Amino acid sequence: MTVVPEDDGRTRCGWIDQSRLAPADFILYRDYHDTEWGQPLHGSKALFERVSLEAFQSGLSWLIILRKRENFRRAFHRFDIDKVARYTDRDIERLMNDAGIVRNRAKIEATIANARAVADLDVDLGELLWSFAPGPRPRPADMSEVPAVTAESKAMAKELKRRGFKFVGPTTAYALMQATGMVDDHMASCWVPATA
């Protein structure tokens, strides 16, 4: 994919392809790209939400998760770590019956396990995750230059698994790094300002 100009005159990353999206989905994706994706995110609760949503996205389109994000927030008590860590089998069944979210038992159970893993950390989740952020690098000129996995994402996934996290493979870890601004994979010609 290449970078494509949009009606507002701004050039965006090629994955924001207006021709392939319904108008409402385009707006949702565009706003996510313009205001969230690649912006530095800190704080355990915010990062726990992103870890959770990236796990639910595994094997699916991110657009599905964006459409359901408010439902996820409602269903998982706005990703309150302590509350989710105390979920029981009854909560799993409640979530499995919630058509507003992705009803995948393994991903639901992983989210609960991850909340428990966060609660057991001896370091802040943000400090742990950001410790794997690579140094600044030039923005890619083309989508073909964007990796799916890096040495840093492999190391992050390995450490998270060691600490009891689930659904945190190297590809998911790299997607998390992109989404939370640990790496800047906006295209060089994208209008979104660089954060570093």
Assess whether 32 carries a catalytic annotation. Answer: yes
Assess whether 87 carries a catalytic annotation. Answer: no
- pLDDT at residue 2 above 50? no
- Among residues 32, 36, 109, 191, which one is catalytic? 32
DSSP assignment of 151-185, as one string? HHHHHHHHHHHHTT--S--HHHHHHHHHHTTSS--
- Among residues 62, 109, 159, 191, which one is catalytic? 62
Cα radius of gyration (the chain): 17
- Among residues 54, 87, 152, 174, which one is catalytic? 54
Number of helical (H) and strand (E) elements in the chain, helices listed first: 9, 2
Question: 92 with 113: CB under 8 angstroms?
Answer: no
Assess whether 62 carries a catalytic annotation. Answer: yes
Tens of pLDDT, residue by residue over 133-174, are 999 999 999 999 999 999 999 999 999 999 999 999 999 999
Q: Tokens 């990236």 identify what position?
A: 54
- 0.85 exceeded by the pTM? yes
Q: How many CB atoms lie within 10 A of CB 183?
A: 23
Tens of pLDDT, residue by residue over 53-104, are 999 999 999 999 999 999 999 999 999 999 999 999 999 999 999 999 999 9
Q: Tokens 């207006």 identify what position?
A: 18
